[in-house]
Amino acid sequence: MTQRQPANAHRLAIGDFTLTTLMDGQFEAGLDVLLNIDDAEAKQLQDASRRPTPARISLSAYLLDTGRQKILIDAGFGPLGGDAGGRLAASLADAGVAPEDIDTVLVTHIHPDHVGGLIDDNDKPTMPNATVLIPAGELDFWSGDAPNEQLAEHFQAADRVLKAIGSQVQRLEGDDVLPGITRVALPGHTPDHSGYRIKSNNEQVLIWTDVVHMPQIQFPNPDAGIGFDVDPDQARKTRREIMADVAQSREMVAGHHLDFPGVGYVVADGDGYRFLPHVWEPTA
């Protein structure tokens, strides 16, 4: 008998801040969505991971409480993902936060699984009191015309969300975002795909968003891309560079598609890397 797991919220202290991972959902993807990897190798890595097939891609959002502001970093699928997502509101409730409490939403990039939760089924804003900061390059790209048919559906989703939240949107220029938060350019997955580095009291974490979608494959083989990458070559270069950086620096990372609670460390392993997940603790 299968039963639905309860919505989850995981708190982690970052200095004086609290970072909470909010489960939004999971969606399935066949290995054929991968790029730049041999089919046999992808299947071998998938089998070795003991994960179910087709692969399931986790989807989370992050809530940062600075003591002065409650900042949501992406908003999950909302009504754009069907049964794949839409659990953000329940996870926020588990964390004791109402959507009206959110002061700021930081958008990493304008894909439906990251901005869909900003609207409800009737295209009304779900975070009515929040300023929505969106990297300037993302706004410019997704406000234009789709460059090819493959991206048309994503452009339609972007148009729907941006029209609904238009009065809340502010362009994010440069890298200084808010006190303790710096934007980190991680281009390739989308043109202005952005991570956010959070620092407080000599502790820090890099929210690298969609550098990795399938950890069981892309850590051991960082050259493997995903079909959602707008510029696969740039995405591969970015993934290689940032994995090398955080493995050397031992900086904690968080990723929207890493397995819940989606925080941990990257270590070098042969020609690739391994992910060391944060060990859950009963108190933050």
Domain count, the chain: 1
Indicate whether 2 belongs to any domain: no
CATH number at residue 179: 3.60.15.10
Please tell me the distance from the alpha carbon of residue 85 to that of residue 137, in angstroms, as a whole number. 26
Q: Is the pLDDT of residue 48 over 60?
A: yes
Identify the pLDDT of residue 83. Answer: 83
What pLDDT, on a 0 to 100 scale, did the predictor assign at position 86?
87
For the stretch 171-216, pLDDT in tens is 999 999 999 999 999 999 999 999 999 999 999 999 999 999 999 9
Per residue in 162-177, pLDDT tens? 999 999 999 999 999 9
Q: Is 104 inside any structural domain?
A: yes
The answer to whether residue 267 sits within a structural domain is yes
Q: What is the CA radius of gyration of the chain?
A: 18
* Residue 4, domain member (yes or no): no
Q: Tokens for 210, please give them.
A: 């969609």
**Residue 194 counted as domain residue:** yes
Contacts of 155 (CB under 8 A, 6+ apart): 142, 145, 146
Does 57 have pLDDT greater than 70? yes
pLDDT at 259 over 90: yes
Phi, psi (degrees; rounded to nearest 5) at 19: -105, 120
Residue 117 and residue 24: Cα distance in Å, rounded?
A: 9
Domain that holds residue 103: 9-277
Beta bridge mates, 25: 59
Q: Encoding tokens for residue 156?
A: 């339609």
CA distances from 2 to 5, 50, 54, 74 (A): 9, 19, 18, 30
Q: Are 117 and 24 in contact (CB under 8 A)?
A: yes
284 part of a folded domain: no
For 238, the enclosing helix (H) or strand (E) is helix 232-249
> Mind listing the pLDDT tens digit for each residue in 108-138?
999 999 999 999 999 999 999 999 999 999 9
Burial class (CB in 10 A: 0-12, 13-18, 19+), 83: exposed
- C-alpha 99/C-alpha 123 separation (Å) is 15
Residue 72 resides in a domain = yes
Residue 84 has pLDDT above 90, yes or no: no
The mean pLDDT value of the chain amounts to 95
Cis geometry, peptide bond prior to residue 191 (ω within 30 degrees of 0):
no
Asked if residue 202 belongs to a domain, the reply is yes
pLDDT per residue over 94-115, tens digit each?
A: 999 999 999 999 999 999 999 9
Alpha carbon distances (Å) from 39 to 44, 224, 271:
9, 11, 18
